[in-house]
């Protein structure tokens, strides 16, 4: 789908790539207000889990779980948040957000109030991406 920003995100933001899995891409969110905030999104344009064959659906959920576990093991947050909305960008994608009791919006949802973006230097993105990618490996 040509007008879907998620369909082109992997190619548009190569510096934020963490991993390419069987069914999904894993990309660090540019805004790191919530450290480790990561996207997991389907390679194919799909909007609903029930549109997928059971084997693919199970594979995607397993990949989301593996990424969440890697983030958790690396960052040791108080809680992992999983957001699968699709109202504004109708392409299946998860927002995986490690949450810490020290974050300014704790324990409210990340969308509860606006916040300034935290933009890292290129080297900081690369370092964070490498740490997450290393935790994804068996």
pLDDT tens for each residue of 94-117: 999 999 999 999 999 999 999 999
pTM assigned to the model: 0.96
Cα 21 to chain centroid, rounded: 13
- Domains of the chain: total: 1
**C-alpha atoms less than 13 angstroms from C-alpha of 120 in its C-beta half-sphere:** 20
Give the integer Cα–Cα distance in Å for 64 and 59.
Answer: 9
- Report how far apart, in Å, the C-alpha atoms of 37 and of each of 1, 40, 44, 50, 61 are: 25, 10, 22, 26, 18
pLDDT at 105: 96
Q: Could you tell me the CATH number of the domain that includes residue 32?
A: 3.30.428.10
Find the domain containing 37 and state its range: 5-135
- For the segment 29-88, what is each residue's pLDDT rounded down to a tens digit? 999 999 999 999 999 999 999 999 999 999 999 999 999 999 999 999 999 999 999 999
């Amino acid at each position: 789908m040509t007008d879907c920003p998620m369909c082109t995100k992997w190619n548009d933001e190569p510096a934020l790539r963490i991993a390419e899995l069987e069914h999904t891409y894993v990309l660090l969110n540019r805004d790191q207000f919530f450290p480790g905030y990561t996207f997991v999104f389907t390679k194919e344009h799909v909007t609903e889990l029930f549109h997928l064959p059971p084997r693919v659906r199970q594979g995607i959920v397993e990949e989301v779980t593996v990424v969440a576990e890697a983030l958790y093991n690396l960052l040791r947050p108080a809680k992992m948040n999983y957001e699968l909305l699709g109202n504004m960008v109708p392409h299946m994608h998860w927002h995986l957000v490690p949450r810490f009791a020290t974050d300014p919006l704790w324990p409210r949802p990340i969308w509860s109030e606006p916040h300034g973006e935290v933009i890292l230097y290129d080297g900081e993105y690369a370092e964070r991406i490498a740490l997450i990618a290393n935790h994804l490996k068996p």
